[in-house]
Structure 1
Amino acid sequence: MSHKKIIVIGGSAAGPKAASKARRMDEFADITMFQKAPELSMASCGYPYYVGGFFDDRNKLLCTPTGVVRDPKFFWSAKGIVAKVNTEVTRIDRKNKVVEYTNLKTGEKGSQPYDKLILATGSIPNMPPVPGNDLEGITTLQSMQDADFLRKIRDEGKIKKAVVIGGGLIGIETLEALNLAGIELTLVELLPQLLTFLDWKMAKLVENYLKTKANVITQNGVAEFVGENGKLTAVKLQNGTEIPCQLAVVAIGVRPNVKLAKEAGLEIGQLGGITTNEYMQTSDPDIYAAGDCCEVTNIITGKNVLAPFGDLANLQGRVAGENVIAGNVAKFPGTIQTGICKIFDYGVGITGLSETKAKEAGFDYERVLNASPDKPGFMNGKLLITKLVVDKKSRKILGAQCLGPGDVSKQLAIWATAIKGNLTVDDMVNADLPYAPPFSLAIDHSIATAHIMENKLKGVFNGISSVELKEKVDRGDDMFILDARGADEYEQMRLGIGETLIPIGKLRERLNELPKDKNKEIITFCKISLRGYEAAVLLKHHGYKNVKILEGGVAAWPFEREK
């Protein structure tokens, strides 16, 4: 009886997962994994933390949970998988079902037949097409070698100034890592905002926080890398500014590595990734693909997206590994593009659609902002700012963005599950979540967010965003802005937009200080706009007809404030 021959090309995340799943499905299949790099199964999302010194043992990036390094010996002895490292597959012969390969160390060439093939070729980092991009001192953070290079820089401590190019997840995580090494940093982003998966206001709050740690430049790109004797000395920006530095880390995104697939004549999608169906099967029924090299369906919009995330690569690899053995029995439904990153003391992330993406997709949506702690004050609760986007008609959750020093990960996990489960605002207003003061408020931040949304959909809560209010102030609109905080809070910090301080506890006795015209627009707020909401409700009961609450209050104000 001949055994099924399975070949996996790629040994980072999707590849090892697919090979391991295939082995668990069939003890007798011949499984070979080809890996161009010297290492296997690298926890690449951990690179910034190795560079930053959160841990010092390089092998921890390559280990199983029990501490065994995942090298070729491990894959053979523990899983019966042949893993060929430093070996590049150069061609796929679909007609004869053979792959050709070259050992990058010895130059030795070979070929191997397959019954089923899995492509897990990952992605390639983008590099700005500008002069000097081959100078010594310019790197990405895509490979173990990149991580080793940056870690060496950290340990030697010779470099004093560095530039990080790109304000996405990897750029910002790298910025933190290099900051911990005591390097003076500048972050450069071509677009008007960092973290483009967030809406502008949420990204602006992140930028304001990040500016306390590093120099941040937006709406400016790299024009040239300047060097002497082949070594980087400065980064020249499009506006002519030169930033002296000895190191530049480029993190301007990645593109799917589809060279092999393209040359083999497999179907490539409009976004440049390999096209697969829900079984992770390509246009060739005997070839599957998983991970960063693929396009994937966004479950909410139904459109294809590129989603180069390690968790999705593992999930897709598992599906491909099962299907090459058992036929098409497992499905990968797509992604809602959940992402999170750590930025010093902040967590920042999103699940589902941002307001911008909901608008692009043609949804009739409502959005609210909730700024409130994750736990009670007596348990040292920390601020969370959540923006929730909901479909007005079905009331289904479309997306949530969350940031702050509080427990962001928990909030995103709740909303991601709600989106996957097709839950509505009404399901969430009485969600039965675990409560005890060490973990949450009596009404969890996520449930409170749903309450605000319910009130908004009912017309009880009439909110205004900080961006809208700032536009009104700049235009000189005639309105009364009411700060319902205490006098002590007002003294510490104010918005400086012509607000009048009337603390909530004094409002009933000071109603005579409000405009006599009951139709005049009144905006209320406080630190997080809970007292702002109570002030608005009180004013409505007293006949004021045009009262709006500043969503998120002072805590979520993204513009300059008066101190």
Structure 2
Amino acid sequence: MSSQPLRILVIGGSAAGPKAAAKARRMDEHAEIMLVQREKELSMASCGFPYYVGGTFDDRNLLICTPAGVVRDSAFYGKAKAIEARVETEALAIDREAKTVTIKHLPSDERQTLHYDRLVIATGATPMCPNAPGSELDGVQTLHSMADADALRAMRDARQVRKAVVVGGGLIGFEVCEALRLAGIDTTVIEKTGQILPFLDPDLAKLVENHVRANGPDIIVGNGVAEFLGEEGRLVGVKLENGTELPCQSAVIAVGVRPNIGLARRAGLEIGSEGGIRVNEYMQTSDPDIYAVGDCVECTSLITGKSLRAPYGDIANLQGRVAGQNLIDPGSARFPGITQTGICKIFDYSVGFTGLSVHKAREQGLDDIESATISGLDIPVFMQGKLLISKLVAERATGRIIGYHCIGPGDVSKRVATVAMAIRGGLTVEDMTNADLPYAPPYSLALDHTIVAAHVLDNKLKGRMCGLSASEVKQRADTGADCFVLDTRSPQEFEDMRLGIGERLIPLGTLRARLDELPEDKDTEIILYCKISLRGYEAAAILQANGWRNVRVMEGGIMAWPYAREK
């Protein structure tokens, strides 16, 4: 006699849930698999919402279709995957002892009890909203669901909104900002913390802020929303914490998400320290027959070993695949953790990151760290190379790479992906200095940007170079610190653009003949730079060889200077 087919129930149909269901089907043709989804749509490409809103493409079905162009609706799941998918259906309660889930069909309010052998919770996350009066006004919304995307796209197409605010200066906030600006809407981004993109190195974040402003939108940092202002139920403006009022007809909230853990909590499943469902490396919850995946769970940092939340679509799909395999063959697949890698497009810039920033590393108790900032092209100048500015972070004692940030109009994605895998593999800075990466002029410099970053950081770790960030140099200039600032570029470059902080010009080629123009006191702090600070580094070596003991290089040079320059 044949055994009964395995009964699998998946709660949540956005990304992780459908992936788990599909993987389970591939592993077992005979399992009974059901997927329940509260929304109308299934398997939405939510990261594409800003581009639909902005008009990059017009067919909304592209957000819910396969690479072959087939819409992933209930009929598709039923016919192509033999998965029963019920939309507009909410899971109300889990009875772990009886192994049942009570569901409700939202349009009819009809309730039903479903039995399972193994269960997947993929309930995702809910957008957070500032605790400010007026958030219920017409015109205040998030960009989290297909309905949200439809509403914002309709607003764009109607062209009735002249001014909009985006509340939140993170990844999604700036993707929405670009979409609204490209639609011709006067847009302001409001960020409560002291800088945009809080995960990013502050100097790099300031460069991105400059780029956004150059493309039209305004940015307000260090100020949150105190109240949404309305007339007759409709948004007409926002009032900030400092009392400033900004007129607007639309406010898009992008301040982050909160894990949907209510169902899991009511079922008595363990919740982690970061507010997500606690799972092991097999994506099992505290109940071995219940798995959880996606934005509702906590992950493990591969750098620190600590718990964290990572509400990203790629992570959700990876976790869904692991859970789906383990539903059929328990313990056969693992999800060990993440490095926290991300990227977004902001007008002509890409902003990418992986691992920990200097600030986050110190927050996590990793105090003995070193970093290096560099500027350069992604490919040779004769191939129309574009600028990249990046910061590499490593442990001093071991040289282990723990973080990397990269911004600019060049190919950021390739560089972030390279360092993400270096972190995953536990590579050191010295490992990266001789990395065998692909080279040809259409794709890279002979020494790729990531390798140059490793070279600079290696020089710092081994005491061959002392560096200063742009903000540290600016602070010295603003406070009148006793230092000698030396620009090593050519006279023409100096005439075209300068920092305006009292710097002296001595081109690198003339430095050896003009050492008598430098401070006689060999302990005077001398700060050198050029366009990207390669000439600054070479000049520093000359000065050190001639007895100056306090020589520093401004990392990244003028291209990494995020403050006003003289022209």
Q: What pairs up with 1:339-488 in 2 under 5 angstroms?
A: 339-363=342-366, 364-488=368-492
> Which residue, 307, 311, 316 being the options, matches 2:314?
311
1:555 lines up with 2:559 in the alignment: yes
Shift of the alpha carbon at 1:562? Answer: 2.0
Q: Counterparts of 2:439 and 2:325 in 1: how far apart (Å)?
A: 39
Q: What pairs up with 1:134-533 in 2 under 5 angstroms?
A: 134-213=136-215, 214-363=217-366, 364-533=368-537
Secondary structure of 1:12's counterpart equals coil
1:104 matched residue in structure 2: 106
> Which residue, 50, 55, 58 being the options, matches 1:56?
58
Q: Counterparts of 2:93 and 2:525 in 1: how far apart (Å)?
A: 69
Amino acid at match of 1:361: Q
Amino acid at match of 2:153: R
Q: Counterparts of 2:477 and 2:163 in 1: how far apart (Å)?
A: 40
Shift of the alpha carbon at 1:94? Answer: 1.2
Q: Counterparts of 1:188 and 1:519 in 2: how far apart (Å)?
A: 45
Q: Counterparts of 1:251 and 1:360 in 2: how far apart (Å)?
A: 24
Q: Deviations over 1:304-362 (max 9, x none)?
A: 11110000000011111111111122111011110111101111121011101211223
Q: Counterparts of 2:85 and 2:361 in 1: how far apart (Å)?
A: 44
1:114 matched residue in structure 2: 116
Q: Deviations over 1:47-100 (max 9, x none)?
A: 001111111111111111111111111111111100001111111111211111
Amino acid at match of 1:9: I
Q: What pairs up with 1:65-84 in 2 under 5 angstroms?
A: 65-84=67-86
1:31 matched residue in structure 2: 33
Q: Counterparts of 1:129 and 1:482 in 2: how far apart (Å)?
A: 50
Secondary structure of 2:179's counterpart equals helix
1:540 matched residue in structure 2: 544
Q: Deviations over 1:238-266 (max 9, x none)?
A: 01111000000000100000111111111
Q: What are the ranges of 5 or more consecutive residues in structure 2 without an aligned counterpart? A: none
Secondary structure of 1:347's counterpart equals strand
Amino acid at match of 1:80: A
TM-score by length of 1: 0.99
Give percent identity, aligned residues only: 60
Amino acid at match of 1:16: P
Q: Counterparts of 2:124 and 2:548 in 1: how far apart (Å)?
A: 59
Q: What are the ranges of 5 or more consecutive residues in structure 1 without an aligned counterpart? A: none
How many residue pairs are counted as aligned between the two chains?
563
Secondary structure of 2:485's counterpart equals strand
Indicate the larger mover: 68-77 or 199-208: 199-208
Q: Deviations over 1:457-508 (max 9, x none)?
A: 1211111112222222222221111001122222222111110011112222
Amino acid at match of 1:475: T
Q: Calculate the aligned-residue CA RMSD, in Å.
A: 1.0
Q: Counterparts of 1:257 and 1:188 in 2: how far apart (Å)?
A: 26
Q: Deviations over 1:419-450 (max 9, x none)?
A: 00111111111111111111111111011111
Secondary structure of 2:498's counterpart equals coil
